[in-house]
Structure 1
Amino acid sequence: ILVGFSMGGAIALRYMNIYKGFGVCKLILLSAAAPCFAQRSDFPYGKTVEEVNSLINLAETDRPQLCLNFSKQLFASPHSDAVIDWFRNIALSASGLGTIKCGIALREEDGRKDLSCVRVPAFIIHGDKDIIVSNELAEIQHKGICGSKLITLSNSGHGITYDELEKFNSIFLSAVNS
């Protein structure tokens, strides 16, 4: 079972395309930043290129602020400062150069062709209040992956694994075991 969260969802989809899903019996996408994180002339969904460029610039000039901003945008429900700090520290533990390169990849990659390459049961779990990856992107994933199941957590943001912890765990385990 291949599971991808956020940018990892786009990477999982690219794997399914390049390697024809070799060894994968099920795909689970969690708040996946796919198929395109940034808008294009023929794809008006996702963040604007200017918004992504601002993120890249902040990664280059004040990465701690970028990580703090991101950790505060993860959730739709209130969490303690300790939880926010935990996620900020996770983001800070990544490579600075890697963070910049991820921003560039999010701006440049176009994964629309990856969606049709999924030929295993696929579950798309998305937070209805996600301000990082729009609901429109989750709908596009669902329409582009034949037979996929879209599950929306109504009180979750991008941090779906934590906003509605018990509900997420139940849905995730059900998808894994189905």
Structure 2
Amino acid sequence: MSYIKVGQDANGEDIKLHYTDQGSGAPVVLIHGWPQCHEAWTYQLGELPKHGIRAIAYTRRGFGNSSQPFEGYDYDTLADDLKAVLDTLNLQNVTLVGFSMGGGEVARYMSRHGGARVAKVVFVSSVTPYLLKTDDNPDGVDKSTFDDIQQNLAKDRFDFLQTFGKQFYGEGALSKPVSQAVLDWSFGMASLGSHQATVACAHAFAETDFRPDLAGIRVPALVIHGEDDKTVPIKNSGDRMKNHLPHATYITYSDAPHGLFITEKEKLNRDLIDFVTGTEVRGGQVS
């Protein structure tokens, strides 16, 4: 397994991120969501390199096989970790692709590090621009929703993760968009994360305001969101992104849940390939 050192913890131990680097060509860095790891991108890692794209995915600190320090789950630190990945691999003209929580890393990196090395950005099912409902963010999600998440994590994290996984992929009484094997696979990834990282990152993506970060993004941008996303509702996120990134291409996937990197993998792959290679994005249409 390959690792990139991004710093040291309070005890002087190295913090390392597990990553994979597939193919050659235009570099794309894939940033996974909460509470999974980089292996969530399996269908993208298996397809993008066939189209002249170098696909790189890393696991956020605290999750999967990356180091699990007790601290460092704020977005400034996570953006610095992303910078370490780009610098260590000496990537240029990168397309950053952030899914869900990972969209926050993209936004914060662009403001905190001036968009260094980045040519394009993609926000998929992203937590941006700002999830928490406040006086100056009335279109956000009520705080009680995030309080429930924290209470359920404290009560029984593993039971919560199993239930969360079903919502993540849009499973319901009459809807089975993914197999039990996919649910088991996702639960396995999520359960590898440390308890502290899982809890702290839930606070981070719920409470961080990315509106100032988005204001400075000038590179080409693509926003993708599922219309039936119950985890990060489109009305609280994707629909609002057009106000903060008016130059972005915004496409929605009809009836798609949060975890569209699995349920809509062919559409997502096609749209990512088109955007990275400079072809007009076809809005998820697969021929």
Structure 1, unaligned runs of 5 or more: none
Shift of 1:4: 0.5
Say whether the 8 Å CA contact 2:120–2:220 is kept in structure 1. yes
Shift of 1:30: 0.8
Shift of 1:113: 0.8
Say whether the 8 Å CA contact 1:39–1:48 is kept in structure 2. yes
Task: State the Cα deviation string for residues 88-115 of structure 1 (Å, max 9, x = none).
Answer: 1111111110010011112321111111
Could you state the TM-score of these two structures normalised by the residue count of structure 1? 0.94
Name the SS for the 2:118 alignment partner.
Answer: coil
Partner AA of 1:56 in structure 2: Q
Aligned to 1:109: 208
Name the SS for the 1:119 alignment partner.
Answer: coil
Q: Once structures 1 and 2 are overlaid, which stretch shifts more, 67-76 or 116-125?
A: 67-76
Partners of 1:11 and 1:73 in 2: CA distance: 23
Partner AA of 1:153 in structure 2: Y
Shift of 1:141: 1.2
1:8 corresponds to 2:108: no
Partners of 2:111 and 2:238 in 1: CA distance: 18
Partner AA of 1:28 in structure 2: V
Aligned to 1:133: 232
Aligned to 1:149: 249
Shift of 1:126: 0.8
**TM superposition outliers: structure 1 runs of 4+ over 4 Å:** none
Say whether the 8 Å CA contact 1:46–1:133 is kept in structure 2. no
Structure 2, unaligned runs of 5 or more: 1-94, 171-175, 279-287
**Percent sequence identity over matched residues?**
33
Aligned to 1:44: 138
Closer, same or farther in 2 for the Cα pair 1:150/1:139, shift >3 Å?
same
Say whether the 8 Å CA contact 2:104–2:205 is kept in structure 1. no
Pairing partner for 1:71 from 158, 165, 185? 165
Pairing partner for 1:26 from 116, 120, 130? 120
Question: Which is higher, the Rg of structure 1 or of structure 2?
Answer: 2
Say whether the 8 Å CA contact 1:9–1:30 is kept in structure 2. yes
Say whether the 8 Å CA contact 1:70–1:88 is kept in structure 2. no
RMSD of Structure 2 on Structure 1 (CA):
1.3
Partners of 2:239 and 2:208 in 1: CA distance: 19
Higher strand share: 2
Partner AA of 2:141 in structure 1: K
Shift of 1:174: 1.1
Shift of 1:155: 2.8
Name the SS for the 1:62 alignment partner.
Answer: helix
Partners of 2:139 and 2:251 in 1: CA distance: 20
Shift of 1:61: 2.1
Partner AA of 1:83 in structure 2: V
Could you state the TM-score of these two structures normalised by the residue count of structure 2? 0.60
Say whether the 8 Å CA contact 1:5–1:32 is kept in structure 2. yes
Q: Once structures 1 and 2 are overlaid, which stretch shifts more, 74-83 or 4-13?
A: 74-83
Say whether the 8 Å CA contact 1:9–1:34 is kept in structure 2. yes
Q: Flag the structure with more relative contact order, 1 or 2, with Cα contacts below 8 A and sequence separation at least 6.
A: 1
Partners of 1:11 and 1:167 in 2: CA distance: 23
